[in-house]
Structure 1
Amino acid sequence: MTIKPAAGDLAGAVAALREWQRDDAPVQLHPGDVGWFWRSGAEATAAAVRTWRRDGRIVAAGLLDGPDLLRLAVAPGALRDEELARQLAGDLADPARGVLPPGKVFLEAPPGALVRDLLAEDGWRAGEAWTPLVRDLTEPVADPGLRIEVTGPEQAPAWSAVLRASFDGSTFTEQRWHAMAAGAPFADARCLLAYDRGTAVAAVAVWSAGPGRRGLLEPVGVHPGHRRHGHGRAITLAAAAALRELGSSSALVSTPSTNVAAVATYRSAGFRQLPERLDLYRDA
């Protein structure tokens, strides 16, 4: 029995992450997160992926989402698997194994995973708090009250402009939209634009993991010139409706817990707040 990390197992990682998106499983890395990262291109995305296999099957997968942050997912049935947890902890602690670089690093790992306990024992500390929120999609979603359009190549400049304006320091471009749209996860995704009296005011990307599985909103943005008019709630409702049409069982969105306005917006759109999830970090 062999468990070892491997970089670049992109197709395998996406397939495994789709399989793990169950409503009865912990919130963790979603194939849509990989799809959003794909805006950097297929080569960069493959280089950022880490997978751990046992008997040929992926049991854990990670995305190096930036130079010092690994977002880790574990197969739901292996969350408390001691052999896997000790392998992960050893790989995360040793920069020579190529999972994380030396120096101060951060880890997002699913709640309840044994690897979190082992890392805490080894001196890793609690870091940034995130608030996940979910909405059941069994019942129809209310009309958002704005005109909503699905973004294709012709609308990519407008979608990109709204998203770029929504986040301080964003470098998102039309070219990045096309790179994202060329990625495998985008086959189960939709980009939506909300319009208020003919002006594009909010944008969202939604990612399905397949029928009967949890879908993801990532990213969600409202143009700063059009905030405080309910557009955040409207685009969130539109996103939930789109995921329901794609067959998702529920919709997930996460935001830093310090962003209380975003939490309130998602709750106003029918999302239920889950317990906070804490990142872990290791000092240099």
Structure 2
Amino acid sequence: MGFIVDLAQDWHEYEKAWTACMQNHYWFKEPRILDFRRDEELAEQEQDFGRDDRAFLIARREGSQDIVGVLGLKVAAHSGVIRRWEPSVVTSERSTRVGEILLAEGLKLLGKRGVTNVTSVMKYPKELEREVKWYADLFKRQGFEMPVPPAAQLIADLRDYRVAERSSPGVKIVTAEKYDDQKLAEITIKAFTSTPEDKRIHGRYPSVTVPSEALRTIQDLRAGRLGQSPPEMWKVALVGNDVAGMTGAFIRVEPYQPKTGVLGPVGVLPEFRKRGIGSTLVISALQSMKKQGCEYALVSTPQENSAGIATYVRGGFSDLYRQVTFERVLSK
């Protein structure tokens, strides 16, 4: 007996099926801070249901009305996005091909709508890597690749943040008002591309390795296009009159989530490393976030950046999550 895949027509039927498919995931049972939330996702799906640039697929066994799998898709120009933790299949059907059939039909639909690039991003607690194995295997069988290595996401709880002010001898932390976007981009490039190890870890991230992309990223951040970014949240470390490092941040305010400061990469120039400058920058940024009323702080870095992760932990972060991205280019 095979499976039949159709576009969902009734929101309430889809909501019930989505809930049945998702109920065994860790985030469905107990929400975690700054992680996927079922109430948030259901609210977004209900708002999106019926839009021309959205699609909701359901899978049934032939001869049955019971829905055994769901897949939600978003379209923006030539890019397609698979909703988080999808395609999702009821536990009893995971050993069948229904997930693969759903994904194949979804990709076919996206291709007909002019999509040339499809991505799926999954975030999970680092101790629960098994939660994504089924998805990773499924995406691999359908020709998806990982364009960047897995990322570590670290969280700092600022509600009772009491890390003492850290000082590095001869180092002064100042706000970056007198440094224009071009100068900050130049500091970023030098901090992330100066050594072979820098290039190995960060080479696939244009925002810190390609001058034009670094400049555009800093311009977007400082202009508040990703969220409020007050001048005091941009820091430069000085040793004498020499720039030793920098960081920047913005504030993210979203429904269902606490007010959160998002820390950009903390870049320290090679000649000034191993002097505590990175963690001093982190602490200064977190203190500014707390003054701005942020309850939490979030930062991402490549999972293999062990030195960077250690710097964030010394500054007050906890290493909680991993994030993986799957991507496939569709044939034209």
Aligned counterparts of 2:145 and 2:109: Cα–Cα separation in 1: 16
1:24 counterpart = 2:33: yes
Whether the 8 Å contact between 1:72 and 1:110 is mirrored in structure 2 is no
- Per the TM alignment, residue 221 of structure 1 is displaced from its structure 2 partner at its CA by 0.9
Task: Give the aligned partner of residue 167 of structure 1.
Answer: 192
One-letter amino acid of the structure 2 residue matched with residue 26 of structure 1? D
Task: Give the aligned partner of residue 164 of structure 2.
Answer: 142
1:131 counterpart = 2:148: no
Task: Give the aligned partner of residue 248 of structure 2.
Answer: 205
One-letter amino acid of the structure 2 residue matched with residue 94 of structure 1? L
1:155 counterpart = 2:179: yes
Whether the 8 Å contact between 1:204 and 1:221 is mirrored in structure 2 is yes
Q: Secondary structure at the match of 1:109?
A: strand
Task: Give the aligned partner of residue 196 of structure 1.
Answer: 239
One-letter amino acid of the structure 2 residue matched with residue 139 of structure 1? Y
Whether the 8 Å contact between 1:71 and 1:109 is mirrored in structure 2 is no
Aligned counterparts of 2:165 and 2:272: Cα–Cα separation in 1: 19
Residues 72 and 180 (structure 1), Cα distance of their counterparts in 2 relative to 1, 3 Å cut? farther
Task: Give the aligned partner of residue 90 of structure 1.
Answer: 106
Find the structure with the greater CA-based Rg.
2
Unaligned runs of 5+ in 1: 4-21, 29-51
Q: Write the deviation string for residues 22-50 of structure 1: whole angstroms up to 9, x where unpaired.
A: 9624179xxxxxxxxxxxxxxxxxxxxxx
Whether the 8 Å contact between 2:73 and 2:83 is mirrored in structure 1 is yes
Aligned counterparts of 1:130 and 1:175: Cα–Cα separation in 2: 22
- Per the TM alignment, residue 229 of structure 1 is displaced from its structure 2 partner at its CA by 1.5
Whether the 8 Å contact between 1:23 and 1:249 is mirrored in structure 2 is no
Q: TM-score, normalised by structure 1?
A: 0.61
Report the identity percentage.
19
Aligned counterparts of 1:253 and 1:244: Cα–Cα separation in 2: 15
Q: Which protein, 1 or 2, shows the higher relative CO under an 8 Å CA cutoff with sep ≥ 6?
A: 1
Task: Give the aligned partner of residue 268 of structure 1.
Answer: 314
Q: TM-score, normalised by structure 2?
A: 0.54
Aligned counterparts of 1:158 and 1:63: Cα–Cα separation in 2: 36
Residues 139 and 244 (structure 1), Cα distance of their counterparts in 2 relative to 1, 3 Å cut? same
Between 183-192 and 219-228, report the one with greater CA deviation.
183-192
Unaligned runs of 5+ in 2: 1-8, 12-30, 38-43, 55-71, 90-98, 126-130, 194-208
1:246 counterpart = 2:292: yes
Residues 171 and 129 (structure 1), Cα distance of their counterparts in 2 relative to 1, 3 Å cut? same
Between the two proteins, the alignment pairs up a number of residues equal to: 230
Task: Give the aligned partner of residue 261 of structure 2.
Answer: 215
Residues 56 and 140 (structure 1), Cα distance of their counterparts in 2 relative to 1, 3 Å cut? same
Whether the 8 Å contact between 1:111 and 1:277 is mirrored in structure 2 is yes
Q: Secondary structure at the match of 2:166?
A: coil
Aligned counterparts of 1:133 and 1:80: Cα–Cα separation in 2: 24
Q: Write the deviation string for residues 25-79 of structure 1: whole angstroms up to 9, x where unpaired.
A: 4179xxxxxxxxxxxxxxxxxxxxxxx7633599999899xx99x88775xxxx6
Aligned counterparts of 1:61 and 1:207: Cα–Cα separation in 2: 29
1:111 counterpart = 2:139: no
1:55 counterpart = 2:47: yes
1:182 counterpart = 2:223: yes
Whether the 8 Å contact between 1:150 and 1:193 is mirrored in structure 2 is yes
RMSD value, Cα? 4.5
Q: Write the deviation string for residues 90-147 of structure 1: whole angstroms up to 9, x where unpaired.
A: 2698344455x35xx65422339x9995674352568432222111112234223242
